[in-house]
Chain A
Amino acid sequence: NAGVTQTPKFQVLKTGQSMTLQCAQDMNHEYMSWYRQDPGMGLRLIHYSVGAGITDQGEVPNGYNVSRSTTEDFPLRLLSAAPSQTSVYFCASNPSPYGEAFFGQGTRLTVV
């Protein structure tokens, strides 16, 4: 019973590098989201998707891209990493718009 799986768990990038954080869920949820967690700020929504082929911006989308080609996968791309993107990233899926969120284990990203 995997739930939401994020890879990698840890990553160090140099400024300007690009990378993709992977997120996959096996619960057939339509709704998926990416958040970043920074100290003292809770979680902030980066991008979200309400179904395959449909994505939109959240509160802090700059510097990130997403796509949703399948129900299961929702990768987050950092186009040109910056130190301000050092954070813990969480992927989540919801069975309904207002239902509980199921979170992945998180990815700790450091940009140097």
Chain B
Amino acid sequence: AQKVTQAQTEISVVEKEDVTLDCVYETRDTTYYLFWYKQPPSGELVFLIRRNSFDEQNEISGRYSWNFQKSTSSFNFTITASQVVDSAVYFCALRRLSYDKVIFGPGTSLSVIP
């Protein structure tokens, strides 16, 4: 069975702190894709990153970085020097090779306090 767990329901940090959002997934597939999306208070969903199961390189984009570890089935997301604009709900998602199979985690609500 496929599953995505985001154990942190809500996180609150003070501006400029670093914060890591956890994502743990379950799948029996050897080929799959992992995603992170951001949903700010305005409600839209914004794509952040995609990773395929064969690419375990960590990625950094500005203040954002992602740590993909197949050995622990985790795809964690770190925001460095958080800002108020980072306040949002963040979703981790797993997609199998077939287009119909996509599983979203329940989301982590991040509040960055000025």
Contacts and interface: CB of A to CB of B under 8 A. Distances in A.
B100 A58 contact: yes
A90 B47 CA distance: 14
Contacts of A94: 99
A56 B43 contact: no
Task: Say which size band chain B's interface belongs to.
Answer: 20 to 34
A8 interface: no
| Max chain A Cβ within 10 angstroms of own Cβ: one of B37, B50, B99, B100 | B99
A110 to B, nearest CB: 15
Interface string B34-54: 010100000111110010100
A97 B99 contact: yes
A22 to B, nearest CB: 17
Interface in A77-102: 88, 90, 92, 94, 97-102
A7 B33 CA distance: 30
Question: Is the contact region of chain B dominated by helix, strand, or loop, or is it mixed?
Answer: strand
A33 B33 CA distance: 17
A103 interface: yes
B43 to A, nearest CB: 5
Contact of A98 (B33, B91, B100): B33
Contacts of B52: 98
Contacts of A41: 106
Interface string B91-111: 101010101101111110000
